Amino acid sequence: MYAGEMVFILIALLPVYLQWMLGAPWAIFHILIITLQAFIFMILTIIYLSMAHESH
């Protein structure tokens, strides 16, 4: 997520006509990646907690 925000900063330093052309697709891509990352970490947490709670 930090790297995605750094790319947004680099895009903000570009001229205005390039900001919209590069910023909009990157924003959509960034939102999809953050959602996927949150889903994966949620699944990993659920698996870890279910394994820690198992009784033998």
Number of domains in the chain: 1
In a domain, 45, yes or no: yes
pLDDT at 21 over 80: yes
In a domain, 56, yes or no: no
In a domain, 40, yes or no: yes
Q: Which domain holds residue 45?
A: 2-51
pLDDT at 1 over 70: no
pLDDT at 18 over 80: yes
Identity of residue 11? I
C-alpha triplet 29, 6, 38: angle, nearest 5°: 50
pTM confidence score? 0.66
- Report in angstroms the alpha-carbon separations of 12 from 18, 31, 33: 9, 17, 20
